[in-house]
């Protein structure tokens, strides 16, 4: 659950779109049922959950699924950096290449995590998110 409304809305919108694509690419009854549940607001459909369901149904092992999610997240952040600062495409790719060992380490840890390990505590990010929502001019939605 994302406590900042804008973060929650963005995660659910990304999840909904990803789920529509994943369900539309094949004939997987589970993904189709999940898409209906999200559309009917019976399931939240957050991006991380949908991503995990889609790659899991495609047969990806947990460590590879986690690595793919982490890489996609890093690529989104680098993409934002390309638009906001004087970071060229080559430097952006260098940043992503430098992240590979960390992504691999974090993916391995995530693949063996238990439910009790799945938590986060980042009040500074949440406070920044709440402040961001009140700004008159914003470059990004969340």
Residues 23-60 have pLDDT tens digits of: 999 899 999 999 999 999 999 999 999 999 999 999 99
Check: CB of residue 50 under 8 Å from CB of residue 34: yes
pLDDT at 131: 86
Which of 82, 59, 79 minimizes the C-alpha distance to 71? 79
pTM, two decimal places = 0.82
88, part of any domain: yes
Residue 41 lies in a domain: yes
Task: Please answer whether residues 31 and 18 qualify as being in contact, where contact means their C-beta atoms are separated by less than 8 angstroms.
Answer: no
For residue 89, the enclosing domain spans 61-112
Indicate the number of domains in the chain: 2
| 46 lies in the same domain as 72 | no
Q: Is residue 42 part of a domain?
A: yes
| Same-domain pairing of 20 and 46 | yes
Please identify, among 59, 84, 102, the residue that sits at the C-terminal boundary of a domain: 59
Query: Which pLDDT band holds residue 109 (cuts at 50, 70, 90)?
Result: very high
pLDDT, position 129: 84
Residues 6+ apart with CB under 8 A from 1: 8
- And the tokens for 107? 């993916």
DSSP 8-state secondary structure symbol assigned to residue 117: G
Asked whether residue 36 is assigned to any structural domain, the reply reads yes
For residue 128 the two structure tokens come to 């920044």
CB 35 within 8 A of CB 19: yes
Q: What is the pLDDT of residue 1?
A: 62
User: Is 129 part of any domain?
Assistant: no
Quick check: is 85 in a domain? yes
* DSSP H helix total and E strand total for the chain: 6, 0
pLDDT one-digit tens code per residue, 87-104: 889 999 999 999 999 999
Are 55 and 18 a contacting pair, CB within 8 Å? no
Instruction: Looking at the structure, tell me whether residues 1 and 40 fall in a common domain.
Output: yes
pLDDT band at 86 (very low <50, low <70, confident <90, very high): confident
Q: Where are the beta strands (DSSP E) in 22-71?
A: none
Q: What's the rounded Cα separation, in Å, for the pair 62 and 110? A: 8
Residues 46 and 7 both lie in one domain: yes
59-77 pLDDT per residue, tens? 999 999 999 999 999 999 9
Same domain, 2 and 55: yes
């Amino acid at each position: 659950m994302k406590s900042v409304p804008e973060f929650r809305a963005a995660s659910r919108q990304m999840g909904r779109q990803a789920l529509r694509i994943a369900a539309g690419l094949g004939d997987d009854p589970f993904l189709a049922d999940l898409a209906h549940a999200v559309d009917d607001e019976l399931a939240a459909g957050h991006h991380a959950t949908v991503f995990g369901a889609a790659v899991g149904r495609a047969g990806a092992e947990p460590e590879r699924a986690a690595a793919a999610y982490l890489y996609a997240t890093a690529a989104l952040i680098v993409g934002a950096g390309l638009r906001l600062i004087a970071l060229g495409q080559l430097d952006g790719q260098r940043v992503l290449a430098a992240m590979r060992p960390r992504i691999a380490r974090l993916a391995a840890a995530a693949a063996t995590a238990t439910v009790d390990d799945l938590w986060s505590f980042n009040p500074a990010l949440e406070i920044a998110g709440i402040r961001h929502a009140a700004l008159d001019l914003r470059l990004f939605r969340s």
